[in-house]
Amino acid sequence: MNASTGSRLTFGIDSFGDITIDATGRPYSDAEAIRALVDEGVLAEKSGLDFFGLGEHHTREMPLSAPDLVLGSVAARTSRIHLGSAVTVLSSDDPVRVFQRYATLDALSNGRAEVILGRGSSKESFPLFGYDLADYDVLFEEKLELFAALRSEQPVKWQGTTRAALDGQLVVPRTESGSLTTWIGVGGNPASVVRAAKHDLNLMLAIIGGNPARFTKLSELYLKSLENNGFPERPIGVHSPGHLADTDEQAIEEYWPHYRTYLLEARYERGFPPITREYYERELEHGSLYVGSPATVAEKIARTMRQLRASRFDLKYGMGPMPHSQLMRSIQLFGTQVAPLVRERLESN
């Protein structure tokens, strides 16, 4: 048990559906990449993990535009692992349809569905579906308010500026448990943390760079905001990138060229610093990259979870066109070795 929240420690993996390559270096087709995700989700359960998440993207490099459909295929081949989004860009979607899709997944999986809602750090969905980035804040605020109302699974009255009003309609299907597990994904915005607490939703801290300890204030803000709203403590999760191999050296060298390429492409759009080997090694040592052997990664994850009072850690595995065999090995090591080691370290305290 996590001493701060009383929540069971859980561990998951997330993918954005990056186009991967086979053993010969041939890039997968979009269809092959999607089918590979199903195999990865099945392996996640076999390896003992608690959650498999797929993040919505709409690009040539990450053609994962319908993650809920892929998760439905994983549900048919698994029996225990929880399945969800990582994240769903609620701002450019319809809250009613998001609820319906994940409530349907919940039915197909016998109650294993979760949804992580976010504002969207990748913004390709906004022009694709005809939304103006100038409305970025109001879109999320209004749609989250509606989604929170839908979670009651009762007739909903709602009115806003971003979609048609609801006047007492019942949205189906309803879940068997009466509540769809919902998280808010936050990349560092205090207002989003307060909003998660206001709606009594779980908090997922998406930390993709820099020292994770700087998010401690957000964890504290979340727990205090829950208290101020009269709610009990809820789970705090961490989502960060990483890669596992049998040795530190192997994992670091396998990950480096793909990490470098990704950040070079994203540098101007998202304001990342110059990409050097020295920067990479600093992130490995002090930042939010969880790359290495099982023992090394477990120690770093345990430290982060302790600092942030987190009871869940989701590893965003893979980066760009890494070989599928490397991804499968990384998943296996994370589930069979890293998760047990972290539990041992944290539960013994």
User: DSSP states of 9-76 as a string?
Assistant: PEEEEEE-----B-TTSPBPPHHHHHHHHHHHHHHHHHTT-SEEEE----SSS---S-HHHHHHHHHH
Q: How far apart are CA 41 and CA 189, in angstroms?
A: 30
93 neighbors 104 (Cβ within 8 angstroms)? no
Cα 14 to Cα 41: distance, rounded to the nearest angstrom: 9
CA–CA gap between residue 324 and residue 36 (Å, rounded)? 8
**Quick check: helix, strand or coil at residue 178?**
coil
Please give the C-alpha separations between residue 204 and each of 44, 45, 169, 207, in angstroms, as whole numbers.
20, 21, 30, 9
The burial class, CB within 10 Å (0-12 / 13-18 / 19+), for 256 is: middle
Residue (of 61, 54, 127, 49) closest to 91 by Cα position:
127
| 281 CB neighbour count, 10 Å cutoff | 14
Q: Which residues pair with 184 in a beta bridge?
A: 117, 203
Render each residue's pLDDT in the chain as its tens digit; 349 residues: 444 445 799 999 999 999 999 989 999 999 999 999 999 999 999 999 999 999 999 988 999 999 999 999 999 999 999 999 999 999 999 999 999 999 999 999 999 999 999 987 678 888 888 888 888 889 999 999 999 999 999 999 999 999 999 999 999 999 999 999 999 999 989 999 999 999 999 999 999 989 999 999 999 999 999 999 999 999 999 999 999 999 999 999 999 999 988 777 766 666 666 788 999 999 999 999 999 999 999 999 999 999 999 999 999 999 989 999 999 999 999 999 999 999 999 987 6
Strand partners, 206: 239
The three-class DSSP label of residue 318 is: coil
The pLDDT assigned to 121 comes to 65
- The overall longest dimension of the chain from CA atoms, in Å, is 59
* Identity of the amino acid at 130: G
Structure token digits, residue 243: 């890669």
Closest CA to 43 of 9, 20, 68, 15: 15
Tokens of 272: 């990342």
How far apart are the C-alpha atoms of 308 and 228, rounded to whole Å?
Answer: 19
Handedness of CA 293, 295, 300, 305 (dihedral sign): positive
**End-to-end Cα spacing for the chain:** 10
**CB-CB neighbours of 305 under 10 Å:** 24
Residue whose tokens read 């998943």: 331
Residue 270: predicted pLDDT: 60
Strand partners, 52: 13, 83
What distances in angstroms separate CA 63 from CA 42, 109, 192, 302, one per listed residue?
Answer: 20, 24, 27, 33
Given a contact cutoff of 8 angstroms between Cβ atoms, the answer to whether 236 and 308 are in contact is: yes
Residue 1 has a pLDDT of 41
Spatial distance between the Cα atoms of 99 and 214, rounded to a whole number of angstroms: 33
Per the omega criterion (within 30 degrees of 0), is the bond before 173 cis?
A: yes
Residues 6+ apart with CB under 8 A from 134: none
